[in-house]
Amino acid sequence: MQQNDNTPDERDDASGSEQGPALAQCPPFTAARLQRQLLIDQAMRFGLVMVIVLLLVPTMVTALTDRALAQPEWTNAAMLVALAGWLGMAMINTGAARRLARATLLMDFDHERAEAELAGALKPLALNRTLRILLYQRLALLRHRQGNYAESGAICQAVLNQPLGKAEHVRVPLLLILIESRLTEGDGVAAYAGIMQLRARPIALLESLQLLALQTRYEVQLGYDDSALSRIAEKTRMAELMPAPQCGAMHAMLAASARRASRAGLAAWLRGRAELLCSSEQLRTIDHVWKPVAPDDAD
């Protein structure tokens, strides 16, 4: 994400004057803002529930004991206001959930509109905690796809530091994004910690394929060739379940590792398959991006 001294709204105004309606942007992420937002969400919801309970107590006592408690005249009006507040919050959450769904659909082909949807959804106070965590998970994914690995990693780390509650199912996707961000930034230690956390959890097949790709990338990048080439038949069989580019990339990485480990036959076999699965352009990118680094650099 580009750093800018203007606030997001000011940026919107500046860009909007030149070409069409401006699309909202999410401000640069800070862990403190996330914490503040979660706190405000919780406080507002708790406050509203408490008001409703306090207003209900006299009615309940009257209904259950036949002993009429003194109630101020404004109780009914206050109850209506509280209910309206509750319904308002429900509507805000419904709107944010719809924006979340739209952002998810847009994420593959229109990053700017996806970000605008997320920015709009994250703005209101008193969002449901699970919903806010889901929105931040999508924002991390968006930043990742935009190539802003520092921010995507920061979002994942900050969200993972919070109790996830009902959004526990996003822990694995967040860890996967975090590991890839850290690997891209050359932070092998943080990537390894993430890999270990994931390995300790039961995960679905698609996620285990992603983990396999990331772990292989970690091992090849850091020069742990023996680990990368262990159980090679099983790894290639699993790689075959991945989409062609990822499958080809796995083969290209493992070929580099086999070459370093002086296993020429295996290296030729893996490279031959990689050349069938990836275009020469993809292979050049893979060879360039995943240049191995010395383990000492990462430690």
Partner 1 sequence: MAWVPLAVLAGVMVVALSSSDPLMQLLPWVVLTGMLLFMSARVRRMRSLERQTHRVQELAMLRHQREALDAGWALLPQLTGSLDLYARTTALLAHLLDQLKAYDSAIVGYDFLIERLPQEHPASVQLRVQKTIVQLESDHLADADDGLRKLRALQQHPSVTPVQAAYHYALLLQSVRTHHYDDAIAMAGGLLDNLRPLGVDAGYGHALLAWSFAAHAERLRLREAESPQTNAGAGAQETHSELMQSATTWWSSATLLLPVADLARRHVHLHDFSQRPPIAAATQSAVPPAGNA
Q: How far is the CB of 2 from partner 1 (least distance, A)?
A: 28
Q: Which of 196, 241 has the CB closer to partner 1? A: 241
Q: Which is nearer to partner 1, 179 or 249 (by Cβ)?
A: 249
| CB closer to partner 1 out of 264 and 289 | 264
DSSP string, 35-87: HHHHHHHHHHHHHHHHHHHHHHHHHHHHHHHS-PPP--TTHHHHHHHHHHHHH
In the complex, which residues of this chain contact partner 1 (CB under 8 A)? 56, 59-60, 62-63, 76, 80, 83, 87, 204-206, 232-233, 236, 240-244, 247, 262-266, 269-270, 272-273, 276-279
CB of 214 to partner 1, least distance (A): 19
Which residue, 40 or 87, has its beta carbon nearer to partner 1? 87
- Minimum Å distance from CB 273 to partner 1? 6
Least Å distance between CB 190 and partner 1?
Answer: 29
The residue assigned the tokens 């070459």 is: 259
Residue 291 host element (H or E): none
- 118 in Cβ contact with 99 (< 8 Å): yes
Query: Of the two residues 59 and 157, which places its CB atom closer to partner 1 in the complex?
Result: 59
* Sequence-separated (6 or more) residues with CB below 8 Å from residue 198: 172, 175, 176, 179, 207, 211
Distance CA 189, CA 198 (A): 14
Q: Judged by CB, which is closer to partner 1: 69, or 293? A: 69
**Least spacing, CB of residue 260 vs partner 1, in Å:** 13
Shortest distance (Å) from residue 39 CB to partner 1: 24
Least separation in angstroms between residue 241's CB and partner 1 is 6
Closest distance of CB 289 from partner 1, Å = 19
CB burial of residue 45 (10 Å; 0-12, 13-18, 19+): middle
The answer to whether the beta carbons of residues 48 and 82 sit under 8 Å apart is yes
User: Measured from the CB atom, is 70 or 204 closer to partner 1?
Assistant: 204
Structural tokens at position 61? 């006592």
Which residue, 23 or 164, has its beta carbon nearer to partner 1?
164
Helix pair angle (111-122, 129-145), 10° resolution: 160
Which residues lie below 8 Å from residue 282, measured CB to CB, with a gap of 6+?
245, 248, 249
Alpha-carbon separation of residue 90 from 94, 125, 187, 227 (angstroms): 6, 12, 41, 51
- DSSP character string of 142-167: HHHHTT-HHHHHHHHHHHHTS--GGG
99's tokens: 């924006």
